[in-house]
Amino acid sequence: MQQSFAETLKSWRGVRHRSQLDLALSTGVSARHISFLETGRARPSRAMVLRLCEDLNVPRGARNQMLAAVGLAPAYEARALSAAELAPLKEAVDWMLTRHAPYPAIALDRHWGLVAMNPVAALMFGAVGIKEGDSLIEAVLHNIALRAAIVNVAEVEALALARLRTELAHFGRDAVLEAAIAALQSRVAGTEAAPALGALPAMMPAVYQLADQQLSLFSTISQFGATEDIAMADLRIELFFPADEATRVALTALEP
C-alpha cells in the first residue's frame, strides 16, 4: 500500500538524519509547517513537494511517488535509452564504453542490471555466462562460474556489501537492494575479508581467474549529474582498470 505524503516525508527526513527545524531552515519555511505536513494537517503545493525533495536529495522516482500521494502529476519520466530525447546521453555512454578499451567498461542500472558492455567486458563476463540484461547482484550471489572465477571472492563480497549499503542510503528504500544486502550480510558475517583497522590498502582489486589468465582489476564509477530522466539518473558507468602490469598486458592482448 502506498504511503501517504506525511509518512513519506517523515521517513525521508529520518533517512537523511534531519530534524524538522533543520529542514525548515534550509527550505525557508517554518518548523511548524513541516510538522503540519508530517501529521497531514497541511497539504503541500507542487513547488513545496519538489523543494523538500531537492533538499532531502530524494531520488526522482520517489519524488514522483510523493507528488502522486497528494494528487499531483509526476515531474520526471523514465524513458527508454533508445528514446530520441536521450540520444546525446546514449552517445556519451557509447563513447565512454568504446574508448575505454582495451580495458573493460559496463553500464549498470539501479539494480546492477547490465545495460551495456564494451567488447572487452563482454568477452570477460561472457566467459562466466554473463550477458547484457543480466543482474550483477544475482551473479555475485548465485552465478557459480563467476564465484569460482573470483580468486578473492570474500573481499569482493565485502566490497559489494559496502557499495550496496551506500546505494541504499541514497535510494532510501529498495526491495531488491535490501534483499541483496541481507543475503550478502549472512555471507560476510564472521569472515576476515577486510583488513584490520588502520591497515587498509590504497585499493582492493577483484582478482579473476579466467582459463589460464589471472586479471586483477579495480574500478571507478560515473553518473550523469545533469539529467532529470529517472532511468538515466540511476545509470552508472563502471570503468575497470588493471591493478598490475600483468593485467594491463593481458587485457591489451584480449581486446577484440
167 and 51 in a common domain: no
Q: Residue 203: enclosing H or E segment and its boundaries? A: none
CATH of the domain at 169: 3.30.450.180
Find out whether 17 and 11 touch, Cβ atoms under 8 Å: no
Residue of 146, 75, 66, 71 lying closest to 112 (CA atoms): 146
The pLDDT value recorded for residue 170 is: 85
Omega before 201 cis (within 30°)?
no
pLDDT classification of 133: cutoffs 50, 70, 90: very high
pLDDT digits (tens, 9 = 90+) for 19-75: 999 999 999 999 999 999 999 999 999 999 999 999 999 988 899 999 999 999 999
For position 196, what pLDDT does the model report?
Answer: 46
Q: Are residues 172 and 135 in the same domain?
A: yes
Tell me whether residue 79 is in a domain: no
Choose among 107, 108, 218, 199: nearest CA to 152: 218
- For the question of whether the overall pTM of this predicted structure is more than 0.85, the answer is no
Residue 140 to residues 147, 148, 248: CA-CA distances in angstroms?
7, 10, 24
pLDDT at 193 over 50: no
Flag whether 52 is in a domain. Answer: yes
- Residue 150 DSSP code: B
Say which CATH number the domain at 40 has.
1.10.260.40
